Amino acid sequence: MDYGKLEVVMRRLALEAGEIIMGIYGEDDFSVEAKDDDSPVTKADKAADAHISAGLRAAFPDVLLVTEEQAATHGESAASFLIVDPLDGTKEFIKRRGDFTVNIAYVEDGIPVRGVVYAPAKDRLFYTRADGQSVEEADARLDAAGTVVTMSVSAPDTGALRVVASKSHRDQATDDYIGKYSVDDMKSAGSSLKFCLVATGEADLYPRLGRTMEWDTAAGHAVLAGAGGEVVRFDDHTPLRYGKADYANPFFIAYAPGIELQQA
């Protein structure tokens, strides 16, 4: 894979998809459909997916593309592949809460090595550069580079941890697990932004005790890894791997190194 080309293409497609999504977000009303699993989908999901998919297939025709909105791709597999969630946090989009993202990632031998997470309503763009280092770009535009800041996880204070959890999928099991730590600050966020908050040092720990798919997490995982963070399975604390047969994730924990992870 040409990582330099990948960085440019993923950044551009994420910004373009963000423009498409925000155009629909600004409409007075838009229809919401239910997919086979009863999760919601809007024309923003579909339009962003069509644009990103066309761009990736044109740029990398020989690389498998897996995308949430194209069920036919869910039965395909390869050692290395591109994986996309064109609008992660559709519920947040529908409720106009702003915590939704465009996720594009490249997985190599089971590991998300490059990714981009763009939150267009918050004007926050996170991505891995060609060298693997994660950055946040402020005021990013298609025709001009914004201010780029290198990202790095914090050195956590284990006696006063900052925890981030899901805004739409918080449950008692998650609260019980968080209760095993000494927590100083607790915040909620939607979509893959939770990975990015750990990557920027705004949070130390993100446990997820709920269903996710690889397209939900790969881009955020790559961004966090490029900032020095880690993502492990909840059950045995081994690294979270990608390219599973059904692209479904087990429960997991994303965190800044230095935290002694608690058992369930």
Residues 24 and 106 grouped into a single domain: yes
> What pTM was computed for the model?
0.95
Rounded Cα distance between 121 and 14, Å, is 13
Residue 185 assigned as binding residue: no
Residue 212 assigned as binding residue: no
Question: What is the number of structural domains in the chain?
Answer: 2
Q: What angle do CA 46, 47, 49 make, to 5 degrees?
A: 65
CATH number at residue 251: 3.40.190.80
Rounded Cα distance between 50 and 9, Å, is 15
Residue 226 assigned as binding residue: no
> Strand, helix or coil at 73?
helix
Q: What are phi and psi of 225, to 5 degrees?
A: -60, -40
Is it the case that residue 73 has pLDDT exceeding 70? Answer: yes
Residue 88 assigned as binding residue: yes
Q: Is residue 156 part of a domain?
A: no
Residue 108 assigned as binding residue: no
Residues 140 and 192 grouped into a single domain: no
At 29-55, the pLDDT tens digits run: 777 777 777 677 889 999 999 999 999
Looking at residue 49, its amino acid is D
- pLDDT-based confidence at 242, cuts 50/70/90? very high
Q: Is residue 260 part of a domain?
A: no
Q: Is residue 173 part of a domain?
A: yes
Question: Do residues 144 and 166 make contact, with C-beta atoms less than 8 angstroms apart?
Answer: no
**Residue numbers of the domain that contains 208:** 161-255
- pLDDT-based confidence at 94, cuts 50/70/90? confident
Q: Give pLDDT, residue 168.
A: 67
At 142-175, the pLDDT tens digits run: 988 899 999 999 999 999 999 999 866 678 899 9
Residue 27 assigned as binding residue: no
Q: What are phi and psi of 105, to 5 degrees?
A: -145, 160
Question: Do residues 117 and 55 make contact, with C-beta atoms less than 8 angstroms apart?
Answer: no
At 97-147, the pLDDT tens digits run: 899 999 999 999 999 999 999 999 999 999 999 999 999 999 999 988 899
Q: Give pLDDT, residue 41.
A: 81
Residue 85 assigned as binding residue: yes
CATH number at residue 13: 3.30.540.10
